[in-house]
Amino acid sequence: MGKYIVGITGASGSIYAKRVIERLIQKGHHVCICMTQAGKLVVESELGWQIGQDTPSGEVEQYLQEIFGSKELIHHYDVHAIGAPIASGSSGMDAMIVVPCSMGTLSAICHGSSHNLLERAADVCLKERRPLVIVPREAPYNQIHLENMTKLSGYGAVIMPASPGFYSRPRTIEEMVDFFVTRILDQMGIHEPSESRWTGMDVCVK
């Protein structure tokens, strides 16, 4: 099956990351997770994950494998491990999703700074012409944010602000999250049937 990178940063919206990972491993894909230090704080606050700032990467990996119920498909790389496999284009990753993506990380990716593994992995996706999906979670946007997103789009990334739709009449937060995650997976080349997909309506405008 495929190999995908999920980057988690310090913006709100880590529930999207959790659901993306769940959906990927349900289909038998390998998932490489990389979290920034701020990302660890957010998942603790929003999801209740207990991942200390200085917890060794192996222990974090084991913890995540327990959360997602898979030892074979879940891999974790410390954000400072710049020599990890996902730092090289030869590692053969299929795509990367940064969800949620803070404005700081978005700026770093846009300008190719590659100060940490997450930024470097995103840079690799761009240079190798592999799908890179950025899910910014910020409001409102200032001109710097907008210009950086425009530049990244021009460089080949897909910019997908966390914007769930409502035409499927979601009844729970989980249904809203699933709607948007289906759209994310579409951009990663993974197309799944979903009840939330638009099927049209019998309306004519005169």
**Residues annotated in a binding site:** 10-12, 36, 102-105, 137, 167, 183
State residue 65's pLDDT score: 96
Rg (CA), the chain: 17
- Structural domains in the chain, sorted by start: 1-185 (3.40.50.1950)
80: its two tokens: 């400072």
Within 8 A by CB and 6+ apart from 161, the residues are 135, 136, 137
pLDDT tens-place string over residues 131-141: 999 999 999 99
Label residue 58 by pLDDT band (50, 70, 90).
very high
CA distances from 146 to 61, 77, 113, 163, 189 (A): 35, 30, 19, 16, 25
**Residues annotated in a binding site for FMN:** 10-12, 36, 102-105, 137
pLDDT tens-place string over residues 82-117: 999 999 999 999 999 999 999 999 999 999 999 999
**Residues annotated in a binding site for dimethylallyl phosphate:** 167, 183
What's the average model confidence in pLDDT over 59-79? 96
Amino acid in the structure at residue 183: R
CA distances from 164 to 58, 104, 111, 177 (A): 34, 23, 28, 7
Maximum CA pair distance of the chain? 64
**60 has pLDDT over 60:** yes
